[in-house]
Chain A
Amino acid sequence: AQSVTQPDIHITVSEGASLELRCNYSYGATPYLFWYVQSPGQGLQLLLKYFSGDTLVQGIKGFEAEFKRSQSSFNLRKPSVHWSDAAEYFCAVRPGNEKLTFGTGTRLTIIP
């Protein structure tokens, strides 16, 4: 079955440290890929997206993600996290014209 996997339910990172959030998908062809962020009590905000072309995409708030076809992955990275990055992060995948499917999310905690 087609699916989106975020294997880390909760990650804790020190402020200023680097961050990588994992996302894997299982689809036959390369889908459209997204990362969203949800701050507590808020809706979802798009961080970045990949449709085609350069496999390293830049997003807002200093985030980037790399699409690796061979690994069916679209991991989110940030070189130095800030306390304001504490939130829940969702990877989402849309294969072609099908529905958008979300992963179960990764909650990020930042410690001083």
Chain B
Amino acid sequence: NAGVTQTPKFQVLKTGQSMTLQCAQDMNHEYMSWYRQDPGMGLRLIHYSVGAGITDQGEVPNGYNVSRSTTEDFPLRLLSAAPSQTSVYFCASSYSKSGRTLYEQYFGPGTRLTVT
């Protein structure tokens, strides 16, 4: 199993550009989520999904969109990049049962995004 994979590893954007961060998992996990990591702030939840076709907002959703058309993929879209979105982004997945997230989350290697 590859686990959770993320592409790209690094990205530089100009203010106003849009892009999609890719996330895929091959563990058949129902629950997937996106976090951003900023110095001194730990990881903050952006969006999450409890299954294909179901998404919801986390703690810091503004400026980001997600969709979940398959169990395996959970892309994160930046609609119009801003310098405040400079961060490291992590995708994670977890087992889920009846819509409840269970047990630990497995994390991807991260995408380091810089917006100039």
Contacts and interface: CB of A to CB of B under 8 A. Distances in A.
Interface residues of B, number: 24
B54 to A, nearest CB: 15
Contacts of A45: 107
A97 interface: yes
B42 interface: yes
Nearest to A4: B42
Interface string A31-58: 0001010000011111001000000000
Contacts of A36: 107
Given A90-B42, A99-B48, A104-B40, A49 B104 contact: yes
Interface residues of A, number: 18
A11 B92 CA distance: 27
- Residue from A9, A36, A49, A99 with most neighbouring chain B CB atoms (10 Å): A99
Interface of A: 9, 34, 36, 42-46, 49, 90, 94, 97, 99-100, 102-105
Interface of B: 4, 33, 35, 40-45, 48, 58-59, 90, 92, 100-101, 103-110
